[in-house]
Structure 1
Amino acid sequence: MKNNIVPLNSNDHLRMCVTESKDYRRFADQQLIPVVFHEFHQLATEFPLVFVKNSETGQFIPVAMMGVKNDLNLYCQTSEWPAMIKPKGFNNAPLSLVKTSQESDNVLICVDTASPLVTEVSENAQRLFNDDKEQSDYLKKRTQALLEIAAFNEQTGNICQLLASKSLFTAKQLTIKLAESQQPINIDGIYVVDEQALNQLSNEEFLSLKENGLLPLIYAHLVSLQQISRLIEKQNNYDLTH
């Protein structure tokens, strides 16, 4: 289904409602899910958190690995979310923020009218506007969450730039051996924080990371790499039934 993202307004969307859903199958073919540093501590208990590089901008982006095979998200194959935690961005749909221009910080609240989460008035749905054309409390809450995520994304980008400026990222090829396959899977294009480079920082640089609260985030990232074994187990179980 194609998206149809349009600016939200009370004239065209007065009776529009949205429903909440834990069905995230729209991410079923996305092996890597972008995340923000502010959720690293929670996500590190379930997912390997690594970095990828934007081929156009050269910027590093933190992602949660949810699969070991291309185009397969092991967590989003059924309508029920199987984990205790999930990325903040999973709950954005069908709403989003879009900048009015590249040079401006002004944003529009948009809605994907083609989303299955969009509906007419029903018992379990939330209206976006009241009859007086004012934003509903629900829409205000959702807008605040979108603004918060947008701020987190900007801060995450700044942190990645800082770590990159200190040459702390290193490319890492992940080699995965699955039960049903003779040949291992090599996952390329992944970056991690280089512990050796981290330890070789000057006392001043290391203290700067500490004072800015970045060391716990870095260590959460490094500890999360142990969750790769969880993904391998989930992939082996998936292969037995598919």
Structure 2
Amino acid sequence: MSKSIAPLNSDKHFKSKIIESTDYRRFAEQHLIPVVFHEFHHLASEFPLVFVKNTETGQFIPVALMGIKNGVNLYCQQDNWQPIIRPLGFNNAPLSLVKTNEQSEDVMVCIDEDSELVVSNDGHRLFKDNKEQSDYLKARTQALLDIASYRQQTANICQFLASKELFTAKQLSVKLLKNEQTINIDGVYIVDEKLLNRLSDEEFLVLKNKGLLSLIYAHIISLQQLPRLIEKQNQYDKSQ
């Protein structure tokens, strides 16, 4: 755990408050943002949604592609981005859930004490005068628990899709105005529509009954947002 991440404590953090901000520059160097299936339909109209593989576990993870080049999130370079659509994970800071120990499923709420979102006045109180949790903290904690549940469900869905061998590696080739050579985005996986259509009627019905078809099609449709991302990269390059 980072030294600045500390378990939330009613005594130590009694005077701490949190402000809301749409300054997402903390993600400025992350062009792949992990997402959950529960937000696929919402995100698909703005970002290409693809999958990457954890090299240690081999598990597939859905991500929103928010940049063409490594280390550049095209949406988070300025402090004045007013997003209508954004990944759920953008709302977590400065709070997080951390397991009490590796063997336990119990979690505790932690706070990033060095975060600019943590202030001593003009923010949302975390604790009431009697040191009980404020309604704001309860709502933020529930949101963290919901996202944690969504992530577990997302991992289970990815494992199921992988068991059906529906993922295929896809090299995304991009031609930018300032680059003579084509940029290849590697390490990306998609649900192959051809493999999907080769499933037996019984297997296809299982996907339908599990409510996965609409998620898969949202993912496939989201790939049409790649030209939008290319245009944003071209505009970004012009400004540099």
TM category, shorter: over 0.9
Taking the aligned partners of 1:44 and 1:213, their CA distance within structure 2 comes to 17
Q: Name the counterpart of 1:63.
A: 63
1:138 Cα offset (Å)? 0.3
Q: Which runs of 5+ in 2 are unaligned?
A: none
| 8 A Cα contact 1:28 1:74, kept in partner | yes
Q: Name the counterpart of 2:98.
A: 98
Q: How many residues align?
A: 239
Q: Name the counterpart of 1:17.
A: 17
Taking the aligned partners of 1:121 and 1:241, their CA distance within structure 2 comes to 37
| 8 A Cα contact 1:3 1:114, kept in partner | no
Letter of the aligned partner of 1:176 in structure 2? Answer: V
Letter of the aligned partner of 1:75 in structure 2? Answer: Y
Secondary structure of 1:72's match?
coil
Identity, % of aligned positions: 65
| 8 A Cα contact 2:176 2:182, kept in partner | yes
The two structures have a TM-score, normalised by structure 2, of: 0.98
Secondary structure of 1:52's match?
strand
Q: Name the counterpart of 2:125.
A: 127
1:188 corresponds to which of 186, 189, 196: 186
Secondary structure of 1:71's match?
coil
Q: Which runs of 5+ in 1 are unaligned?
A: none
1:3 Cα offset (Å)? 6.3
Letter of the aligned partner of 1:22 in structure 2? Answer: T
1:203 Cα offset (Å)? 1.0
List, as ranges, runs of 4+ consecutive aligned residues in structure 1 with deviation greater than 6 Å: none
Query: Does 1:224 find its partner at 2:185?
Result: no
2:149 corresponds to which of 148, 151, 160: 151
Secondary structure of 1:233's match?
helix
1:37 Cα offset (Å)? 0.2
**Which deviations, in whole Å up to 9, do the C-alpha atoms of 1:82-130 show, x marking residues without a partner?**
54200011010000001112232211000000100001022xx001011
* Residues 194-209 of structure 1 aligned to structure 2 (within 5 Å): 194-209=192-207
The two structures have a TM-score, normalised by structure 1, of: 0.97
1:68 Cα offset (Å)? 0.3
